[in-house]
Structure 1
Amino acid sequence: MPHSCHIIVENNAAIIYASRGGAPDKVLPVLEKFLDTFWKERDTFGVYVDTPECLIAQITIRFGYATCEDDFSNIRVGVHYNSTADYLYWVGLDHTVKVWVADEAYRKKPELGLAGCSLWTDVTKISGDERSIVDSPQ
């Protein structure tokens, strides 16, 4: 069964939606590898302006190539949540990735966003060469 997802970046109104390939075992390896490189480059060059905008653009491109077979029809960017999203990935500017699972409230009223979802037990902190799972606040 294809799992759909949203990728949300802190301080950016744009929301990435992928209609398939959105399960954590598919998304997290790609997202973590990309973010590790992204944060290292930002730190190396000391460039921090427009980070939320750069993240949305570059994540869209990365996931376009990683998840689309040939036509990119499964990936979109917009400002509205899609009620069919199974997982919502929140990318924090503090280098964390939080995974949320859509609840019934979200399905009925997707504009609730993360408020209509349950936080997964894992939060990934990406910093430099380290990746660690930290306890998530519930």
Structure 2
Amino acid sequence: MNTSCHIIVEGNPAIIFASRNGSPARVMPVLEPFLEKFWQERDSSGETHDTPECLVAQIIVRFGFESCEDDFSNLKVGVGFKAKADYLYWIGEDRSLTVWVPDIEYRGNPKSGLGGCRLWTKDAIVDRNLVSSCAYPRESNHP
């Protein structure tokens, strides 16, 4: 079974979708070191403009290289959420990375975005109502 995912960067309307290899076990070993390097490079260059745009572009390049060598239909970019996404990775402007799992609400209405998901941790999935502050509010205007 293919495990799909979205990667969402705060401040950028683009939503990255990968149709397979989207589990935390597959994504996090690539995404975490990549983000660390990305933030180091941004800091050392003193560059602060267009960070969300640069980050989305670089993620697409990185994940394209990792997952699309001979298959050009795995990775997509759009502005809408897909109901079939199994995990959603949120990269905040504060450099945080959180993983979300779709709930029934999301499956029925993907436009609910992270508001229709539960926070994922390595040990458990946390009910979104127990999270005191979410980087992506439930009543979001995000597509």
TM class, shorter-length:
0.7 to 0.9
Higher percent of residues as strand: 1
Residues 67-108 of structure 1, C-alpha deviations (whole Å, 9 max, x = no match) = 224022110000000000000000012111000001111111
Aligned-pair RMSD on alpha carbons?
Answer: 1.5
Identity between Structure 1 and Structure 2 (%):
60
Q: What residue number does 1:20 align with?
A: 20
Q: Give the partner amino acid of 1:101.
A: V
Q: What residue number does 2:93 align with?
A: 93
Residues 34-88 of structure 1, C-alpha deviations (whole Å, 9 max, x = no match) = 1111000000010010000001111011111112240221100000000000000
Q: What residue number does 1:70 align with?
A: 70
Q: What residue number does 1:127 align with?
A: none
Choose 60-69 or 15-24, whichever is displaced more: 60-69
> Is 1:58 aligned with 2:61?
no
Q: Give the partner amino acid of 2:42.
A: R
Count residues with an aligned counterpart.
125
**Aligned partner of residue 13 in structure 1, secondary structure:** coil
Q: Following the alignment from structure 1 to structure 2, what is the Cα–Cα distance between the partners of residues 28 and 121?
A: 12
Q: What residue number does 1:40 align with?
A: 40
Choose 77-86 or 60-69, whichever is displaced more: 60-69
Q: What residue number does 1:107 align with?
A: 107
Q: Following the alignment from structure 2 to structure 1, what is the Cα–Cα distance between the partners of residues 91 and 72?
A: 22
**Superposition deviation, residue 121 in structure 1:** 2.9
Unaligned runs of 5+ in 2: 123-129, 132-143
Q: Give the partner amino acid of 1:3.
A: T
* Structure 1 consecutive aligned stretches of length 4 or more whose deviation exceeds 4 Å: none
Q: Following the alignment from structure 1 to structure 2, what is the Cα–Cα distance between the partners of residues 35 and 72?
A: 24
